[in-house]
Structure formats: structure tokens, C-alpha cells
Structure 1
């Protein structure tokens, strides 16, 4: 333990320690993620340090998790204070932090009377709960989109589209159909009388307003409004997966609240996690209105740790700092600056930047995203090759304009990679 404590001291430099920790990792940790790119020991603000003392600008934030960056004083104080008072009690009892968090989420979601919240530990668990809610609507089909990623557990995996994730674990829970991404004609067909007669009614549509792992692909304007009309007419649930896009990531509390994305709709269910706890594991299901809120009754779902006092305190602190410090506006402004600076950086590799707020993908003119991410790591930037030709940027919401310009400067000096890089272009976790 002493060597680990030494590594976490500010300013500590322990040359060669990364190799030692990586070797220990390969002998102790199950090989589901591959070898770690670096062994990180400390973070502060938007920066992290590895075991050899090298500093990196963190443009991934634990895959859109560390909304307030690393070691934020308000967040760490809230977690410490709550753990020093009441850590865990089970859901046979209520706690003030649990209740206050549910109330805060309903307020931010502008949810109607009768709405309720179920608290979880992760995005996958939130999707599992939402998937179970679809079964309570009645027998029928659940629609998801091609390119969708909704998690790794069996129900969430059934909603996920990528065959490489699905195939090793089939048969998955049935009744799920995937329709073409952003294609309203394909959606119309799935709800058509002919499809209902042949394949049964649609009971739910599950969509991400921006598909994260598919390369940060926003749904086209008008799609969610069209989906809302179809689901309402069919008596089906409209479930929005905002695990990655929620909690201010796009410059609004929820991505669907942008008029050009959501068109003013009110969904039936929204799932959250990732940034909600600022790095502490917590997720949520927001059920809008009495119908959705009562689909899961007593004894039909549960969670030992879901909504525990410490997780709820972390989430309340995260939401509070975002409001207090005006981070929604900062995400909008710095995200727009980051996008513009990269698009104008003059690199022949950069084709476009897509996304919203501080969830962006730098789309490249060649399938060299893994090599670009490897070069970035060497240069002191953590970013994610989310697709062969796209690098994902999801930094802390506290990213500054100066830091955004540093990122653009990296892309401006980027050389065309010629050697393969051993960096995965997939593998989001929830």
C-alpha cells in the first residue's frame, strides 16, 4: 500500500512505475479491456498524471463521467461528509439525499405531476429497468436503432446493435428489432398496420439523442418529434437513453431539451448515469407521468446499492455545482469554440467535427483514429478513437477556452500516421 500512497502525492514522479503496475494488472485483472494504455494515479481539474509522473489533459473524462473534472473540492467534501454520517441503509429506508436527488431530477426534467425516479448504480442498470418497464406495457416489439449502444448486461445488450457484442451471448431477450438510424421512413414501416399484423404491436422505442459509441451521431432534426407522434398514437413508450448525453454534457440538462434535437417533446422515460455522480457510480430512470411511473410496482424491481446516501450526495453535489457555476453556458461556449478551432486548424486529416456541447467527434479523412489517439497520448492528451475514422472528445464540463485551444493546436500539428496503433476503437462501458 505504501507505494500506491506515494504515487498519489502531488508532484510525485516514479519513473518506471507504469511498467510495473501494467505487469501486475495483467496478472490480476480479468482480460476484458486489454492492457491499460497508462496507469493513472492522480487527477486535478481537467488533468491526470500517470505512474511515471507525466501529465495529460483529460479529454475523455472516464467516458463522459467526470463532469466536474478530478478531485473537485465540492464533490469530494460532499462524499466525505455523507460517508462520515450515513453510508448505506438499504432501500427498506429512505434518506434525505435520496429524496432530494429524485426531486432535483424531476425539477430539471420538467417532469409532469405523477412522475417518479428509480435510482441505480450505472447506465446499464438504468437500461435494464427501462427494458423491464417495456414488458409491463404488454406483449409486443421493442424498437432500437442501428448503431445503438445501451449497455452490456443481457437486457441492455438486446437493445445494443453491434453484433460483435451480442453474438457471444445469444440467445438474448427477444422481441427487439433494430431499425435504420435516423430514418423516419423505416420507423413508419415498423409502426405500420402491416408490420403490426405480421410482427405484433410496438410497445416501446429506445433511442439515444446522440449515438455515442457509433461515432457521436446526432439524430436528424425532427426525428424525435416524429417518433413521439408514432409512439403516442400506438400507446408505446418513448425511452431516451441519455446515459452519455445527460447532465449538461451537450449544454442542456438533457440533450432532448435542445429544440432542434427534441422539438419540444416530452418523453415517457429517460435513463441517466455517467456524469450524474461526477465520477461516483450512480444512475437514474426518470418516468414521466403517472402511467410510466407506475409500470414497476412493489417487488417488481430493486437494487441493493441504488440510491444509497453517498451516491445521492455525490449526484446532488454535481448537479449543484453545474447550476452554481453556470456550467451549462460554459459547455455551450467552450464546446462551440473547441469545434470551431479544430475545424479551422488546417489539418488535412480533419474532415469535420460533429456533436453538441462537449460531446464531439473529430471525423478524419482516413481510418486512422487509433493512430491519432496514440499520438495524442504521447503528446499529453487523452482522447478516444470511437470509430476507425473518428476520435471522441468528452472532456470535463469545466474545460476552459485556453485548454480547448491547446487541443486544436494538437490537431493542427498532426502528421499522417503510417504505423498501426494498438488502441481499441470500441469498448464503452456502463
Structure 2
């Protein structure tokens, strides 16, 4: 395979719930969930049933036709959110690509070719297409491939003065993650999100919320915007939506979509295919239930309490940030740059974690992880900290 990844030596071969087993039969507690993707864990019986039943009917029919699973899923997404229109694709990058194209198309249609500026934030991540990686605020991912698309302006998060200077008559979109994932699981302050909304409205720009990671129950709300008091014009999501089956979605209003994304303007060969939508519908039915969301919040509070205690015990974390079952353990300065090495040590202790940059250990469990699995994983995490930080 092309060496764009540097995987750990662990090769998982089977999963059930929040446990994985490798080629040697050793078990691990999965605290990464495929980077917040396997929202209901591994081999969930409801998802298996949905996949098997749809696989026996029809897998793919192209977008020259529509299909029942896509129609049902779109209706449920709209009923549960501000949205009135949904575009299905295969990933978060594709959802953001669609959102950015739509925002520019809307602005150019209404005001002309100068209104193309996109305001984004340093440290953000919006995908790996050339457009989305250029909009993402991490130059290391977009450098070395020639000039980036024009009209992209990056500023620091929470810098109100810079924001006011950047937004103007040629701004077509402001894109933000309500919880910034790849830079450390950092919630954006609600008052800053409100300012983004006000400035976007003032300059008739689209406010895009990238909820690829923060959506689908991850924070304990169905979508993170629901806890902020701020409503975007466009919302993108993927990852946990399909419970592990690839699917992405862009949600928006009828006024924006119907006027500017007319037939032929955008598309996706596999987007909205019956298999993906059937599995995503089954996933959505579970993760959108008030009982599951309440359990996410309860388990998140428990995990955060234990992680903070572990951090104090070994003197390793300067902060533990919690946004539902999505936690960022920021290393103290003396351990700066060692998050990746700790990821390997944790695997040796039987728990699989993630990183969010070089200084943050990231945890994103299944939303339905059992109390026993959660505590076993935290016990193993404690052991990893003892070996790594107390040695």
C-alpha cells in the first residue's frame, strides 16, 4: 500500500462491542472507534441486520434513480435538525467539498465572481481533497502541491479582532468545527459562534458547521450546534453517521439548495447508495434516541472524572477536555510531543487510543460502550500511564 499511513503493529481481525482481537488473539478495548466512526461499536446486531436485509435487495442503482433507504434517511435527518435538504456522499471530506462549492455557487450567483472568500481557522481540519485541505488550517497537509485555491483566509480561533477584519463584502462562507477535533478536542466558545452567525448574516455569507466528528451523538447532543444556540446555514457530517459504513451528508435549507444546486451542478456516484443509507438509518435511529444521548453524557462525565484523576496521579495531563464521549487529554509541557509514543504504549497495555496533534491523547469510544468495557479500558489506560509517565 502507498505509505501515507504509519500504522501500529497491531492488526485487528475481529470486533464485538468495544473490544477488538488481533491476529494473535489478544484483546483490546477500543477507545478510538475508528476515529469516532464506529459509533455503535463492532458487529452491532441492529446494523448487521440492516446491512444483510438491504444486501439481499439492492446494493447500487446510481443517482439516475432514487431509493427508499436514502429517502427515509434524508427525511429523518431533516426532521431532527434545522435542515430541509440533504446531499449524500461517502465521507466528511466530500461533504465539506459539497458545502464549500455550494457556498461559493450561492454567492457568485447572487453577487458575481468576486464574492468567493472563505474564512477558516488555524488548526482546523476539513478533509483531504485539495479544496478541503486548503481550507483546513494546517499547512503541513496542503503544502508541496503547488498554489492553493484563491480566496481562503485563515485566522486564529477566538480572535474577534482578526475575524472582524477578515469578514467583508466578498466573504461567501465561514466554516468552523464547533468542537475542533484534530487540534485537541477544543470546544469553540458559544459567544464566538454567535459572532460568526451575526457576521455571516450581516455580509450574506453562508455559515458552515463542520460536524464530521462532533455530530451523530458524539458530544451527547445529536449535533453539537444544538447546545450552542447558533444555527448554521449548512452542516456537514459523516464518520459516526454510518456506524462504520462509509457515508457522508451535507445538510442545508431549501432556499439555499434549491436555487443553487440544480441538476448537474454537483454529484456523487456512490453517494446515497442503498447499502450505506440502510445502515446509516439503523444507526441514526439508535444514536438519536434520548436514552442513548443521556447515557453518552453520563458515561462521558464518568470517563472525564477518572481521566483527571489519572492525570493527577501520574502528573501527566495539564487538562482533560470533555465533549461527550470525545475527550482530549493534553500533556504537560515536559511531555510535549509524546502523544504518538503514548498511543503505542497504550496499545501494549490493551487499550487503543488516538492522538489529536503531538500533545493531546484523544479518546472517542463507542456511544454505547458498556460500563464494564469503559472501566476496563480506563484501568488499562491507567496502567499505560504508569508505564509511560512514571517510569
- TM-score category by the smaller chain? over 0.9
Work out whether 1:63 is the aligned partner of 2:35. yes
Structure 1 segment 52-131 matched on structure 2, within 5 A: 52-111=24-83, 115-131=84-100
TM-score by structure 2 length? Answer: 0.92
Give CA deviations for 1:205-239 in whole Å, capped at 9, x if unaligned. Answer: 00001111111111123111111011001100000
**For residues 318 and 145 of structure 2, what CA distance do their matches in structure 1 show?**
37
- The answer to whether the 8 A contact 2:237-2:248 is kept is yes
* Offset at residue 32 of structure 1 (A): 1.0
Instruction: Provide the aligned C-alpha RMSD in A.
Output: 1.7
* Offset at residue 266 of structure 1 (A): 1.8
TM-score by structure 1 length? Answer: 0.84
- The answer to whether the 8 A contact 2:351-2:381 is kept is no
Give CA deviations for 1:91-111 in whole Å, capped at 9, x if unaligned. Answer: 111111110111111111143
Work out whether 1:386 is the aligned partner of 2:368. no
In the alignment, what sits opposite 2:185? 216
* Offset at residue 289 of structure 1 (A): 4.1
- The answer to whether the 8 A contact 1:373-1:391 is kept is yes
Q: Determine which of 336, 348, 353 is the counterpart of 2:301.
A: 336
Q: Determine which of 138, 142, 146 is the counterpart of 1:170.
A: 146
* Offset at residue 36 of structure 1 (A): 4.1
**For residues 7 and 223 of structure 2, what CA distance do their matches in structure 1 show?**
34
In the alignment, what sits opposite 2:386? 415
- 1:360/1:174 CA distance change after superposition, 3 Å: same
**For residues 389 and 18 of structure 2, what CA distance do their matches in structure 1 show?**
30
Query: Which is further off, 146-155 or 283-292?
Result: 283-292
- 1:303/1:350 CA distance change after superposition, 3 Å: same
Query: Which is further off, 93-102 or 32-41?
Result: 32-41
**For residues 238 and 348 of structure 2, what CA distance do their matches in structure 1 show?**
30
- The answer to whether the 8 A contact 1:341-1:405 is kept is no
**For residues 166 and 229 of structure 1, what CA distance do their matches in structure 2 show?**
30
In the alignment, what sits opposite 1:10? none
**For residues 49 and 325 of structure 1, what CA distance do their matches in structure 2 show?**
31
- 1:284/1:329 CA distance change after superposition, 3 Å: same
- The answer to whether the 8 A contact 1:207-1:239 is kept is yes
- The answer to whether the 8 A contact 1:67-1:278 is kept is yes
**For residues 223 and 388 of structure 1, what CA distance do their matches in structure 2 show?**
26
**For residues 70 and 392 of structure 1, what CA distance do their matches in structure 2 show?**
19
In the alignment, what sits opposite 2:175? 206
Give CA deviations for 1:366-413 in whole Å, capped at 9, x if unaligned. Answer: 222122212110010000122222100011111233333334334444
Q: Determine which of 340, 361, 366 is the counterpart of 2:328.
A: 361
- The answer to whether the 8 A contact 1:337-1:404 is kept is no
In the alignment, what sits opposite 2:285? 320
* Offset at residue 173 of structure 1 (A): 1.7
Work out whether 1:50 is the aligned partner of 2:22. yes
Aligned length: 377
